[in-house]
């Protein structure tokens, strides 16, 4: 859970509708299912994991700290307005990242794609997060223990996107996984991305590619 940076923790009570509309738009889950089907008996990410631990499952589950929820929790409407995080915002978000990893999060999931919008048309809050913000959060992940920075990203300009992200990865030393999606307008992008990933791996950068196993919202990792 938390893949692509969307989820429901951390979340203040008055922010629930913002996250519900975001999930409704991105994952096409009806609003009523989320508003009435979730117990909402948490606010922080550790409380969320505690609530999950009290349930019984037939499969193993795990989760990322969703960047969208993190930004909304710390920045409120400024997150949806695509404002850059302040120095104080980064301090607060980094502390929550470390707290989440210590509570059992796989890492941080973020979205950098224009196709992720809420049901009322707003872009995902992490879309315009600066390289400074991503680097700060990646460093927090690295300092907290084994963790991954997971990206959902557009590849309309593969070389530019990869180069911009590689700088963050190099400065943080945090392992990275990103989604490899195909656009009809750029039919050979996947080849270029895989070539750049292989070269980065040869240089020692711990980067993995996620691909769709079927037409669904689920991603599987390929090293």
SS3 211: strand
**What letter does residue 86 receive in the DSSP assignment?**
P
* pTM of the predicted model over 0.75: yes
**Phi and psi for 71 in degrees, rounded to 5?**
-65, -45
pLDDT tens per residue, range 167-196:
888 889 899 998 888 778 888 888 999 999
Instruction: Give, to the nearest 10 degrees, the angle between helix 158-172 and helix 189-202.
Output: 20
Contact of 152 with 111, CB cutoff 8 Å: yes
pLDDT digits 0-9 by tens, 14-52: 999 999 999 999 988 999 999 999 999 999 999 999 999
pLDDT the model gives residue 214: 61
Measured between alpha carbons, how far is 199 from 222 in angstroms, rounded to an integer? 15
Rounded Cα distance, 70 and 73, in Å = 5
How far is Cα 223 from Cα 207, in angstroms, rounded to an integer? Answer: 7
* Residue 209 belongs to some domain of the structure: no
Q: Please say if the pLDDT value at position 60 is more than 80.
A: yes
End-to-end CA distance of the chain: 20
In a domain, 214, yes or no: no
**pLDDT tens digits for range 85-103:** 999 999 999 999 999 999 9
Tokens at 191, concatenated? 């080849």
Six token digits for residue 51: 């609530």
Q: Do residues 42 and 12 lie in contact, with contact meaning Cβ atoms separated by under 8 Å?
A: no
The C-alpha atoms of residue 48 and residue 38 are separated, in whole angstroms, by 11
15 falls within a domain: yes
Q: How many domains is the chain built from?
A: 1
pLDDT the model gives residue 218: 47
Tell me, what's the pLDDT at 85? 98
108 domain-assigned? yes
Q: Are 18 and 66 in contact (CB under 8 A)?
A: no
Specify the pLDDT at position 202: 93
Q: Report the CATH number at residue 30.
A: 3.20.20.140
Residue 202 falls inside a structural domain: no
| Token pair 């210590």: residue | 102
Domain residues for the domain of 150 are: 3-165
């Amino acid at each position: 859970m938390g893949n692509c940076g969307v989820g429901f923790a951390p979340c203040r009570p008055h922010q629930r509708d913002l996250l519900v509309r975001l999930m409704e738009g991105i994952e096409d889950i009806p609003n009523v299912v989320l508003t009435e089907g979730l117990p909402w008996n948490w606010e922080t990410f550790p409380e969320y994991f505690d609530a999950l631990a009290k349930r019984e499952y037939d499969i193993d589950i795990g989760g990322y700290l969703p960047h969208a929820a993190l930004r909304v929790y710390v920045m409120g409407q400024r997150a949806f307005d695509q404002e850059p995080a302040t120095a104080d915002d980064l301090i607060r978000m980094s502390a929550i990242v470390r707290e989440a990893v210590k509570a059992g999060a796989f890492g941080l999931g973020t979205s950098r794609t224009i196709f992720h919008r809420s049901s009322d048309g707003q872009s995902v809050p992490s879309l315009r997060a600066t390289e400074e913000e991503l680097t700060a959060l990646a460093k927090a992940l690295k300092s907290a223990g084994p963790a991954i920075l997971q990206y959902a990203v557009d590849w309309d300009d593969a070389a530019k996107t990869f180069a911009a992200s590689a700088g963050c990865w190099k400065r943080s030393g945090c392992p990275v996984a990103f989604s490899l999606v195909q656009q009809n307008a750029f039919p050979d992008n996947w080849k270029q991305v895989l070539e750049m990933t292989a070269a980065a791996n040869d240089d020692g950068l711990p980067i993995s590619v996620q691909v769709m196993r079927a037409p669904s919202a689920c991603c599987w990792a390929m090293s």
